[in-house]
Each structure stands twice: as structure tokens, then as C-alpha cells.
Structure 1
Amino acid sequence: MSNRETIEDLRSWLTWLEEEEHLAHVTERVHWDQELSGIVRRTYDIYGDASPAMLFENIEDYEAPKPNKLFIGQFRSYSRICMMLGLDPVESTRRDIGLVIKERLNTLVPPVTATEAPVHDVVDTGDAINVLKFPVPYFHDRDGGRYVGTMHAVITKDPDSGWVNLGMYRVMVHGPDELGIYFRPGRQHIGLHSLKYLERNEPMPVAIAIGIDPRMTFVAAGNIPATTSEYDIAGSLAGHPMEVVQGKTVDLPVPAKAEIVIEGFVHPDDWKVEGPFGEYPGYYGEVPDPSPVMRVTAVTHREDPIFQASLEGHPVNETHIIGSLMKAGTLWNAFEYNGVPGVKDIACLPESAGGHLVVSITPTVPAHADWIATVAWSHSAVIWSYKHIFVVDDDIDPWDFGQVSWAMAWRVKASEDIKIWKNQRGSPIDPRQEPEAKGYWDRVLIDATRP
């Protein structure tokens, strides 16, 4: 049995992290209002990739027997990602991780359905609903509110095909039974589902799963192709099917062993101002703007549930690392599918928060770098990432920006090797863009290969 098969849920994952000395228990009293996030930020800044995962067990206003635990930091270490995937955390490189993800993205392992599940140990409906029964942090001093969804999976379903999507879209608390989900109809996979419900003038059922098998959160933050369910990819990463159960008030499959599931509906024309939020570029995102509202119909959870969160903001944090590896895996497949030769390694640098993509190649055809850029900029992640693409020779480690910088300095002739595409579709939370230009940015290709 490989290591990755020993993970059944968040609790078994925590047990394994404890055994491998990757888990730090924070037992000192900590306030959920910015103190907790400050501790996490300081840990990441000091320890970097050696940062432990942290289990906070003494949070202000959240004493036992109420839900009183918060887990954070599982993906701030490449070693823990290797553990999750069954790779040697000492010998494996980031290239190895990307190639394993590439291969497992090509195999689908659909989930199996249970009739009973630990996530239904406690079921709150009606007046009993209160999403703040869990220790939801207030992360940054200018955030629009407390964010219950930062390391989770938002689950929706295509009403025509039945395609189930798991995505990681930020979720702000408006009230005990009212949440704001940051998405727009037509944008991202949840937006594709939303369009269909809007056309029908029907509410869209939604479930938010928190504290789940790490493979599920890993792929929920990735760029899985449309019509493919993240449940199937998580099963492939795990080497066995994920286990799901029918929601209590929504017609959606939810993770059977999740710590927490919040169920509800997004109704047409029900929008409310959401944000701002300290986002992945290291700045606050868009100017606060209305986002769809989720009306909560049920909150289910295990006994003594463990809440889970992620600190967003200045790199490097968990989602920067997830993004760097998932994007590498999907791009390996994209280059292969499009017949691009000579690709040696792919790095979507986490230090750039996804803005820099570096591809090392053995140049074999004219305009090889242009071909790389054409394929990468047609990828689904292009709206949020790959603002700048650097193509380097195979003697350069694309993960080492020192080497990349050297190649840029001495293998680039600016008049020939730097190309700019203006006003391309881009991230709506790029801080460089003026408010009226949000959603567009300039793209740059730098060919830093030898002539």
C-alpha cells in the first residue's frame, strides 16, 4: 500500500502529518480577528517551505464543546504535497511533482456514493443555522468581512449534463445564513453553471465543503478542464474513489467525510456587495462590487469539527504552491496535446503569484517560444495567470529565478526577443490595472533562449 492510500479524510491526514512531525499544535490563546492570520504570515515569512501545518486549538470566543479548532498550512510545503501524492519528499523535485500530476490528470476515477456519512453527524436547519459557529477568521484589516471559504470546495452541478464541479472561490460571511460567493455568470466553471440556471430563472443549488481530503482541495484550486469533475481527478490522485453522499437540502454529491458542509441556493438577481479581500497577488482585489448571494438551507458537520482555512495575500502561501504545480501538470498535457516539441520543465513561479510562467526547452523549430506562448495563452488559467512568459534553454532551471534572470540579461535582445500583446483578457484583480480596465492586461513573451 502506497502512502497516498492511507489518507481517507482530513483527520487521517492530520494523523499522518503528526507522525511525520509536520504538524504544529498552537495551544496559546489566539484571536480570530487578524491575530491568527498574523501568526500564520509570520510563520511563512520566517520558515518558508519548512513551515509546519498548524492546528489552532485555543481560539477566542470558541471554547469547547463548541467547534474550536482551525487547520491551516497543509500545502505550504512541497514535502507535504509529495506525501499526499505518494512521492519521496526528500528526493522528488518540483518537476517530478508536475509530471505525476500530468499523468494522473489523464485518468478518471469516479466517486462512490454512501448512504450514511460522518458529515451528517450534526444537521442544522432553519433558525439553528449559523455559519459563525465555526472559528472563521478575519484575515486582513481592510477585508469586507470574515471569509468562511478560503481552503474549501464550492460544489455545483450542470443542470443539463450532470457535470459536477468543485472550485475554490472565496466566500464571505454576510450573516448567519447568508454568504457572498465571488464569481460572475459565464466566468469560470461555476459561472458556466450559473448561466444555465439564470436562463431557466431557477435558483442554483450550492454546497461548500470544508475540511476535506487534501486531494479534493488540491484539485478544486486547479484548472481542471470543463465537463471533467474534480471528484474524478481527486480519485486519480488518491488511487481510489472519493466517497460522497447526497446533500440534505440540495441535489448535490458532497464529500462524505468532510468536516463541514454548508448547503444552500444562489437565486437569480440576489446580489450583495462582497469584498474587498487580500488576494493572491499580494494586494486587495477588485473594488468592492456585488457578487451572488448564497442563502443557506443547512449546515452539516462531524462531531467536534475541524475548520480549515488558508491565508491569502503576499506570496508565498498555499494557493500559490497549489497553482504552480497544478498549472505545470495541465500545461505539460497541453503542450503534448498540441505537439509542442522539446519541453523540458515548466515553472509557474509561486513567488510571482502565478504572474510568471517559465518554460525550459531544447529549441528545435523556428518561433519555438511563440508556439509555447500560443498554447499557454489558450489555456483555461490564462484569465488569472501567465501575464509574462519566459522561455529559456534546457541548461536553465526554470524554478530558479536567479538562473532565469541571468538568461534574460545575457540571452535577450530586446528589439527581437521581447513581444507585447496589449489589452488581452486578464485577471480582474490585477492591482496594476485601473478600475475601468479591470479584466484586461498586457501580456509579454520574453524569448531568453540562445539565438
Structure 2
Amino acid sequence: MNSPEDSNFPVCDLRSALEFLKQIPGEYIETSEPVDPHAELSGVYRYVGAHGTVMRPTQLGPAMVFNKVKGYDDVRVAIGVLASRKRVAALMNTTQEKVAFMFKDAVATPIAPVVVSAEKALCQEVVHRAIDPDFDILKILPAPTNTEHDAGPYFTMGLVYAEDPENGQHDVTIHRLCVQGKDEISIFLQPGGRHIDVFRKKAEAAGKALQVSISMGVDPAIYIGTCYEAPTTPLGYDELGVAGSIRQKAVELVQCLTINGRGIANAEIVIEGEVLPEMRVEEDQHTHTGYAMPEFPGYNGVANPSLPIIKVKAITHRRSPILQTCIGPSEEHCSMEGITTESSILTMVERAMPGFVKNVHNPAPGNGKYLSIIQVKKLQPVDEGRQRQAALLAFAAFSELKHIILVDEDVDIFDLSDVMWAMTTRYQGDVSTIFIPGVRCHPLDPSSDPAFSHSIRDHGIACKTIFDCTVPFALKGKFQRSEFMEVDVSRFIPGFPKHQ
């Protein structure tokens, strides 16, 4: 592949990403069969390519575009664009083993976004203003439901961009957005988890609305980059700079038309609005199912009884827009959250113990957030024990991590069968397991609840665990894998791919 700095790399927005994927066998599929956005669309992709923690049967498959959505003449829907680590790496112009390192470097060398004129903003080719009497979000955009039990139609790939009302600092993150009315969307802000909520609270304390834009259908590098969290990207760090570094070109923003805010200029769709102060709604007020939508652990999220409301002022979009969506528990979530967490762990551990950790993988069964596999290389006797120190550093920095599996350099961390082999032959439960009970974890883990165990004091508190599947340094000579002759298989099977 070319280097990430190659200015000729063709991906710069969603449309160029899809055109790029069309050129790679097995990475893209489209259909012109009419599809209902209510449950059916996600039901189809569950089988085609969702994978992740989605209910079986499912598979790792191509990105998919639905060309005909029932009730909408001129809107297509793309799903699963990032639902494969291999596909994400291709879209970043690298390999799946190196993609976390690429983002690690990009965080350290951000290129700040720039503002362009409205004439250059493709996202404003078509404008719908909420003051128009016929304005209705769901008449313009086919927000899908993942299942028939969802609280309502959701925008699952909406990048919420806002400014700190006190100092003008920016932040952009993905949030759970449920359409509640013709010009209202509820927003779920995880307590203590996102900077947008800090901005909202400041505005609300002053009795003011927080002005926000919601950009959908953008360059995949933007989606990955915006999934970083503190301490890697502290308050005041604009995550759009990560995508700028990946592409070696600043992300372009445009001034919104109805609010004092900015949207991503080449987004397929931008929703403009404001989070109203002191106004709350039940997330499932129209369905009363008790559920929100399927979340990344693989279970239906519980509907929140009190969420802030975004009052929509306008929707702008490109001509014949493509709405980008995802299935909540799919591989797509793991790609976005997992790669950024891997990158952050690599950065932190490298500072503390240079060269010791060789790579990190947050695989799909761990939802991208709950499980990390850390590959280390012990070179001398004093390295024994440092593997557990690396795990402790990761836990200290990322509260949402629940389990860490430590393996040696000869284990392929991207092959879970190989990881399980290490756990089978290099692990003894009574001496290789380290429990850290009573630690704050992620609130969406259903097992982190007093009802599950008397040892859990409150919801969201759990036991973090280290599974040390590394060979003690003194025994490394007894744990050498069987070596085979290096041969050119293409002599025997013409066209057989060479080992990389």
C-alpha cells in the first residue's frame, strides 16, 4: 500500500470510500430491492455482515448499500462501512496490524480543521428549515430501527459537534440519537463520559441552549478519530485533528445556517439544532417498550427515563444523500471504539516501558471496550512481571476495560484461536489470574450489577481481571513452538498467496 501521506489516496468522504471499496473483491455489495427502515434493514445486514456481538447466525461480510428505501425516493442507506478491521485498515491505507499504530501517531500530530465557505460545502446543497410548515425529520431522512423493540427510529452514526460556551473549545462525538417528534431528537449522554455533556451542563447552568450540529456520512477516518476519549484526548483536544493527520489534509467545516455552529462540509447530511435547557423526555415515550436500542455488549439497552432534547432547526444534505447507519452490537462499533482504545494503550505503555508491548488488539467479543489482548516481549529476567504492570496501566487509564489477556510475541493476537491456545497451554488459573474487585467499569455491562453478585456494591462497579498467558521468563526455552520449513507454496499451488 502507499503511505498514509500519499495525497493521491482516493478516500476523502463517504462516497469516495464506497467507490474505493467497490474495487476490492468481497468488500462491497448493494441492492435495489425495496427495504423497510423499520427493523427490516438491520435484519438483512445482521445476516450479511454485522458480526460483532450480534445474535447468531451472523458473519463478517461486506459493506452494504440499500438503493431503495420504502417511503423515500431520493435517499440511500449505507451500513457496515466500518464493520471489518481489514476494511477499516484498507480505508486508512494500511494493514490491520498497523492501523492502531497509525492512529497513535495521528493523535500526536493532529492537523486542525479549517472553515470553508458555503459555496464549497456539499452538505448544504439542499436545505430544509424547521420553520417550514411541512418540516418533519422522518419525511426527510429514513432513521432506521435496529429491532422491533426499539424506543423509536435512531441515528446511530451521528457526529455531534459543539463548542464550550465559556471558552469556545470544540468537541465531536457519536451519541445515541432517537427521533422523538417532527423537530425533536433525544440525546443520550453517558454520565461522566463525554465532553459534550460538560458543554451542555455549562450552558444549562447559564439557562442557555447548547447549539449542536449532527454530521452523518463522512470520511471513515473522521469516525474512527472521534472515538478517542480522555486521557488520550483531554478536554480541549479537537478530535477532528486526528483525521486531518491521517489524510494529511485538514477536515473542512462550514458555518451552519440556523445556529452558531459548524458542520462537516462534505458530510452527506447535517442536522442543525440546540439542546434545550431543563427539558427532558422518556426515551421510549412513544413505544413504551422499556428498551432503547441494541447496544454494543449485544443486549437491548434500557430506555432512559430522562434525556435532553435537541430542537432541530434545519436539515441540510447533499443531492441524493446517503444516510450512514450501523447495527448497535456489530463489528462496526468494535472497529471504531476498539482501534482507538488500542492506540491509546500503546501510547501510554510505550511511555512507561518503551519497546516492551509489541501490539494490542481489542477484539469483537470484547465489544471493542471491555477486552484487550496485549502482546509483550520479555527479553531479560527483569522483564518478568512487567507484563502485569502494562495491564495495570491500561486499566488505570481506561475505566471501561474489564478483562486483559497477556500473551507472548509468538502469539497472533488477531487470531482468537491462537490466543485461546496460549490460555490453554501457558495459563494456570490459580497463579495466572489477577482479580481487581470493586472498580468502576462500564454501565452497559449487564453483569456489573448487585443482582448478579453480592460482591458488586453498585451498578457499573465490577471486578477487573488480568489473564496472564505469558510464559515465565525462566521457562521460555521449554515453550518454543514447533518450527516448519519455509517453502514457496506457489510452486505447488499456482496463485497461492505469499505469507506476509
Scaled by the length of structure 2, the TM-score of the pair is: 0.82
One-letter identity of the residue aligned with 1:395: D
Task: Please give the secondary structure, in 1, of the residue aligned with 2:29.
Answer: strand
Query: In 2, distance between residues paired with 1:16 and 1:403?
Result: 32
One-letter identity of the residue aligned with 2:279: D
RMSD over aligned Cα atoms: 2.2
Describe the shift of the 1:158–1:4 C-alpha distance in structure 2 as closer, same or farther (beyond 3 A): farther
The residue that corresponds to 2:30 in the other structure is 25
Please say if 1:434 is aligned against 2:442.
no
The residue that corresponds to 1:73 in the other structure is 80
Query: In 2, distance between residues paired with 1:4 and 1:279?
Result: 37
Q: Greater shift after overlay, 252-261 or 40-49?
A: 40-49
One-letter identity of the residue aligned with 1:373: A
CA contact (8 A) 1:5 1:239 kept: no
Please say if 1:181 is aligned against 2:187.
yes
Query: In 2, distance between residues paired with 1:214 and 1:306?
Result: 14
Among candidates 187, 198, 213, match of residue 192 of structure 1: 198
Query: In 2, distance between residues paired with 1:359 and 1:350?
Result: 15
Query: In 2, distance between residues paired with 1:77 and 1:393?
Result: 25
The residue that corresponds to 1:160 in the other structure is 166
How big is the shift at 1:137?
1.0
The residue that corresponds to 1:407 in the other structure is 422
One-letter identity of the residue aligned with 1:271: R
The residue that corresponds to 2:217 in the other structure is 211
How big is the shift at 1:128?
4.5
Q: Greater shift after overlay, 152-161 or 162-171?
A: 152-161
The residue that corresponds to 1:55 in the other structure is 65
Correspondence list, 1:409-424, <5 A: 409-424=424-439
Query: In 1, distance between residues paired with 2:89 and 2:207?
Result: 45
Among candidates 238, 261, 268, match of residue 247 of structure 2: 238
Query: In 2, distance between residues paired with 1:184 and 1:207?
Result: 18
Describe the shift of the 1:391–1:20 C-alpha distance in structure 2 as closer, same or farther (beyond 3 A): closer
Task: Please give the secondary structure, in 1, of the residue aligned with 2:302.
Answer: coil
Please say if 1:326 is aligned against 2:344.
no
How big is the shift at 1:182?
0.9
How big is the shift at 1:310?
0.5
Task: Please give the secondary structure, in 2, of the residue aligned with 1:249.
Answer: coil
How big is the shift at 1:185?
5.4
Q: Greater shift after overlay, 408-417 or 51-60?
A: 408-417
CA contact (8 A) 1:422 1:443 kept: yes
Correspondence list, 1:349-364, <5 A: 349-354=363-368, 355-363=370-378, 364=382
Query: In 2, distance between residues paired with 1:19 and 1:304?
Result: 22
Describe the shift of the 1:242–1:74 C-alpha distance in structure 2 as closer, same or farther (beyond 3 A): same
CA contact (8 A) 2:46 2:58 kept: no
The residue that corresponds to 2:488 in the other structure is none
Please say if 1:378 is aligned against 2:396.
yes
CA contact (8 A) 1:169 1:181 kept: yes
Query: In 2, distance between residues paired with 1:302 and 1:287?
Result: 32
Task: Please give the secondary structure, in 2, of the residue aligned with 1:277.
Answer: strand
How big is the shift at 1:161?
3.2
Q: Greater shift after overlay, 240-249 or 279-288?
A: 279-288
Which has the greater radius of gyration? Answer: 2
Query: In 2, distance between residues paired with 1:416 and 1:19?
Result: 50
One-letter identity of the residue aligned with 1:111: P
Query: In 1, distance between residues paired with 2:394 and 2:317?
Result: 40
Sequence identity of aligned pairs in percent?
27
Describe the shift of the 1:38–1:95 C-alpha distance in structure 2 as closer, same or farther (beyond 3 A): same
Describe the shift of the 1:288–1:325 C-alpha distance in structure 2 as closer, same or farther (beyond 3 A): same
The residue that corresponds to 1:448 in the other structure is 469
Please say if 1:317 is aligned against 2:331.
yes
How big is the shift at 1:34?
1.2
Among candidates 237, 252, 260, match of residue 251 of structure 1: 260
Among candidates 42, 46, 50, match of residue 47 of structure 2: 42
Q: Greater shift after overlay, 245-254 or 171-180?
A: 245-254
One-letter identity of the residue aligned with 1:412: Y
Among candidates 331, 347, 357, match of residue 343 of structure 1: 357
Please say if 1:367 is aligned against 2:394.
no
The residue that corresponds to 2:475 in the other structure is none
Describe the shift of the 1:435–1:41 C-alpha distance in structure 2 as closer, same or farther (beyond 3 A): farther
One-letter identity of the residue aligned with 2:114: V
Among candidates 101, 104, 116, match of residue 103 of structure 2: 101
Query: In 2, distance between residues paired with 1:6 and 1:180?
Result: 36
Query: In 1, distance between residues paired with 2:243 and 2:107?
Result: 9
Q: Greater shift after overlay, 240-249 or 129-138?
A: 129-138
How big is the shift at 1:350?
1.6
How big is the shift at 1:340?
5.4
CA contact (8 A) 2:405 2:466 kept: yes
Deviations 1:250-290 (A, max 9, x none): 22221111111111111222111225210100001235331
Q: Which runs of 4+ in 1 moved over 4 A?
A: none
Deviations 1:331-368 (A, max 9, x none): 11111123355111111112221322111112343531
Q: Greater shift after overlay, 237-246 or 339-348?
A: 339-348
Deviations 1:210-245 (A, max 9, x none): 111221112223435122112111101111111111
Query: In 2, distance between residues paired with 1:158 and 1:206?
Result: 11
Deviations 1:393-413 (A, max 9, x none): 222222222222232233233
Where do 5+ consecutive residues of structure 1 fail to align?
none
Describe the shift of the 1:409–1:327 C-alpha distance in structure 2 as closer, same or farther (beyond 3 A): same
Going by fraction, where is helix more abundant, 1 or 2? 1
How big is the shift at 1:193?
1.9
Please say if 1:293 is aligned against 2:309.
yes
Scaled by the length of structure 1, the TM-score of the pair is: 0.90
Q: Greater shift after overlay, 266-275 or 209-218?
A: 266-275
One-letter identity of the residue aligned with 1:207: S
How big is the shift at 1:181?
0.8
CA contact (8 A) 2:449 2:461 kept: no
Query: In 2, distance between residues paired with 1:382 and 1:173?
Result: 30
